[in-house]
Amino acid sequence: MPLNILVTGGAGFVGSHTVLELLNAGHTVYCVDNLCNAYSSGAAKLPESLKRVQEITGGKVTFYDVDIRNRDDLLTVFRKHKVDCVVHFAALKAVGESCRIPLQYYQNNITGTSVLLEVMAEVGVFKFVYSSSATVYGEPRKLPITESHPTGNCTNPYGKSKYFTEEILKDLCESDPRWAVVSLRYFNPVGAHKTGRIGEDPNGEPNNLMPYIAQVAVGRRERLKVFGSDYDTPDGTGVRDYIHIVDLAEGHVHAIDKLSSGSISGFRVYNLGTGRGYSVLEVVAAFSKASEREVKYELVDRRPGDIASSYADVTLAARELGWTAKRGLEEMCQDAWNWQKNNPNGFAG
Amino acid sequence: MPLNILVTGGAGFVGSHTVLELLNAGHTVYCVDNLCNAYSSGAAKLPESLKRVQEITGGKVTFYDVDIRNRDDLLTVFRKHKVDCVVHFAALKAVGESCRIPLQYYQNNITGTSVLLEVMAEVGVFKFVYSSSATVYGEPRKLPITESHPTGNCTNPYGKSKYFTEEILKDLCESDPRWAVVSLRYFNPVGAHKTGRIGEDPNGEPNNLMPYIAQVAVGRRERLKVFGSDYDTPDGTGVRDYIHIVDLAEGHVHAIDKLSSGSISGFRVYNLGTGRGYSVLEVVAAFSKASEREVKYELVDRRPGDIASSYADVTLAARELGWTAKRGLEEMCQDAWNWQKNNPNGFAG
């Protein structure tokens, strides 16, 4: 059934790919973004990522340059459209930066979400998909990580903001049975849309592995720093569960289907991953092969707060959402490379 | 050294007693309160509690009817006065209510604190005393509870909001060495000022034991419900570390002395308690004796989320703040009763 979906932070990496899949699925999308992390050329009404989403899909995104912390602006958008469901991406997301400016992270991520939820309740919208992260699990006690793994013990403000927000959502659902909330715990989203027209476009030095590798391959950066080569993993480098961004986006579409079917209520969490871990060096090798470029790297010390291995148990999402990741590491690298080589400087061109 | 101290939530129970002791210690006090939980008569510029604090001390409180979530209003106050240190009480505090309206709790307690801290940083004030709670310890793993006891695992939004705020303060201090923050973890504040002019004045049905007992003793309520009589404690009822409100207020004065001496930096936590636990029935007996009234009670089921026993290890505050609670249970009951019998309907008269 076509729905009216309001997407916050829809101009970002996960947001734009999800908006694309929502349009492909026939939904109407209203997007709210404060553009703090998205490129748009001066004259454009739309951020570049969403302009390209429109080109790819032939669909339309109604865009609002609104900060979710601004209650009145947000209320205006909700009053203008009959919204069935909200997908909430808007958040700051850089771990290192979160340690330098924690208050901004808490204000954006927690206050922002609280304001959004209050406004939703005011206008009578109670279906919510939250953009969470495997970071809420802290250091894994057992692998693969199931959704019943304890949460908390996060080591940085970014991670805490995700964990705190999940707790707020849980309390909210317990306080009022009208809420139906799905929290999607992402493992490591990578890759790009097959067209190479949208992809990950980090500001400044990338925080995540694959954009860094891609920038090395394309010649924007000299070499990759591999943080830690003495972990208890097959080759000593950190192991993560990388998931293709299009698979991840499709997971959101499935979550919305489930929510709109009315078959789930209260607070639900699902891992979005492949269930398979790859080491940093495996990713480097796969990317080199896909790009046919050498990716120079050096082994350096561990970063504080990093963990050895993390990968998901993905059976719950398969069972309850009918969703499984379909794309493997090779395709992740090919698509990331296709995006990078066609957009060596990201959306700014 | 006399300081300029801004107190948020200064009209409340802990706030008003602390303002009183700050004035007694020679400090200048600016008070910010949104009066959501304080009585003031229509014509009065000051909430009744602070009017009486002025009468008792002969001092002056500069009062602002400001909600700390209102950035501009708060900034105006900070720009008007040279503030040396902030003591932050403003928060919602009823456990049961927090389960019913969690978003309001998170907005008041977390967003409110974040806005306050941002404004402080903007005007260059970095000394902060936070009104925390033993609730951050969750279910105690070991008694007495030391400050190094793990925090988290709180079972309700009120408790979580205290725990989350401590984490935010910790992150803030790690991000910027100019901050010096003392978080005071209260055990169970009871009693009232010796004059009987200020005391605890809960709206509606009291959430805490002693005001409930006092309202039974004075005839406002028929009988006390004792939640749980099968705990693993000497008489089966819950054991708590009650602390006289004036002792607690003096703890804040000591914390401010320590902060202003410059001898501590970063994030510090101190338990404020007596180190001694009393059961519900012991408190009932002591209050009956002090009031010379019968306190009817009935034993009912446990409340979900309540714990058997909680009492503080108080050596850290003694060693580092030079502070120890001096008033025992008898005095707590006498002073609570003195307040109750002179103000059977609280400040409203």
The C-alpha atoms of residue A287 and residue A191 are separated, in whole angstroms, by 11
Burial A245-258 (b: 16+ CB within 10 A, else e): bbbbbbbbbbbbbb
B117, B122, B235: which is closest to B170 by C-alpha? B117
Instruction: Flag whether residue B99 sits within 8 Å of chain A, measured between CB atoms.
Output: yes
Radius of gyration of the CA atoms of chain A, in A:
19
Output the six-digit token pair for B9: 């939530």
Domains of chain B listed by start with CATH number: 4-193+242-273+311-325 (3.40.50.720)
Strand (E) or helix (H) holding B268: strand B266-272
CB A305 within 8 A of CB A156: yes
| Complex ipTM tops 0.85 | yes
What pLDDT score was predicted for residue B1? 86
Contacts of B110 in chain A (CB under 8 A): 106, 110-111, 114, 164
Q: Which residues of B127-142 are buried (b: 16+ CB within 10 A; e: fewer)?
A: bbbbbbbbbbbbebee
Q: What is the pLDDT of residues B138-169, one digit of tens each?
A: 999 999 999 999 999 898 999 999 999 999 99
Whole-angstrom distance, CA of residue B153 vs CA of residue B156: 9
Q: How crowded is residue A104: how many other Cβ atoms within 10 Å of its Cβ?
A: 16
Residue B345 CB neighbour total at 10 angstroms: 12
Q: Which residues contact B288 (CB under 8 A, 6 or more apart)?
A: B217, B294, B295
Say if CB A210 and CB A283 are below 8 A apart. Answer: yes
Min distance A223 CA to chain B CA atoms (Å): 29
| Residue in A175, A178, A181 to test binding to B, most B beta-carbons within 10 Å | A175
| Selection from A188, A181, A196 nearest residue A291 by Cα | A196
- Tell whether A157 lies on the interface with B, counting CB pairs under 8 A: yes
Contacts made by residues A298-302, CB under 8 angstroms, sequence distance 24+: A298/A223, A298/A224, A298/A225, A298/A226, A299/A226, A299/A229, A299/A237, A300/A225, A300/A226, A300/A227, A300/A228, A301/A227, A301/A228, A302/A227, A302/A228, A302/A230, A302/A231
Cβ of B106 within 8 Å of Cβ of A160? The answer is no
Cis status, amide bond into A144, omega within 30 of 0: yes
Kindly identify which residue of chain B lies nearest to residue A116, measuring between CA atoms.
B103
| B338 membership: H or E segment, kind and range | helix B329-342
Distance of CA B235 to the CA centre of its chain: 27
| Sole residue written with tokens 């004045």 | B201
Tokens 């009492």 found at = B311
Give 10-residue mean pLDDT values along chain A (349 residues): 96 98 98 89 81 97 96 98 98 94 97 98 98 96 97 95 98 98 98 98 90 93 96 97 98 97 94 98 98 96 91 98 98 97 91
Averaged over successive runs of 10 residues, the pLDDT of chain B (349 residues) comes to 96 98 98 89 81 97 96 98 98 94 97 98 98 96 97 95 98 98 98 98 90 93 96 97 98 97 94 98 98 96 91 98 98 97 91
